[in-house]
Copies of this chain bind each other. A is one copy, B any other.
Amino acid sequence: MHTYNWAILGLGNIARKFAQDLALVPQARLHAVASRSLDKAQAFAADFGAAHAVGSYEELLAVPDIDAVYIATPHSEHYANALLCLRAGLPVLCEKAFAQNASQAQEMIQVAQAGGIFLMEAFWTRFFPAVNKALELVAAGHIGEVKHLVADFGFNTPYQPTSRLFDPALAGGSLLDVGVYPLFISQLFLGVPSEVKAVATPAPTGVDVNCAMSLAY
């Protein structure tokens, strides 16, 4: 049985959860971690037993025997981080929101396809047993034709202009952070909408504090 050597690029809270879960997967091992801070990388590597810790994302490319890179930086960095890895031939699992806009996402996919390199958005809800069961029940016709779907996701957080969630430079806002989940669920069950109409409440920084959408099919 091959054991896959994982690297993590970007070592925030979600990277920590990922590392905790990776330890439960028999065929996976945390092999390398990369942060813009070497101290942070070394501490993270020590916590999870990773063999390699580097203090820049570029240095990660020189670490031998990486099978896949999990990108866990803020949304604003996904495009650059994914291209960095893909161009070095490293398979990528990239956190949602995958990119800041469609043209970034298209370029990421093009580079992956041109190099024949695995690239995937780390959309965990797609693999929830409950979601798979719901898909199965719908496919089997148990609820008849799906005519209407309501999905939402929200949480309460204090306004902090410099935080990832509110800073436009870090691709803040509710849509990119949690709005992608209900949109994804809609797409999973109903496909690509013919029309999308949205309203949002702006934070003082300009990003959306909330966002409501109506999709037509």
> Measuring CB to CB, which residues of chain A are less than 8 angstroms from any residue of chain B?
147-148, 150, 152, 154, 195-201, 210, 212-217
Contacts and interface: CB of A to CB of B under 8 A. Distances in A.
A215 B199 CA distance: 7
A197 B198 contact: yes
Q: Is the interface of A mostly helix, strand, loop or mixed?
A: strand
A213 B214 contact: yes
B212 A214 contact: yes
B214 A201 contact: no
Contacts of A199: 195-197, 214-216
B216 A201 contact: yes
Given A150-B152, A197-B198, A199-B214, 8 more contacts: A148-B152, A148-B210, A148-B212, A196-B199, A198-B214, A201-B216, A212-B216, A213-B214
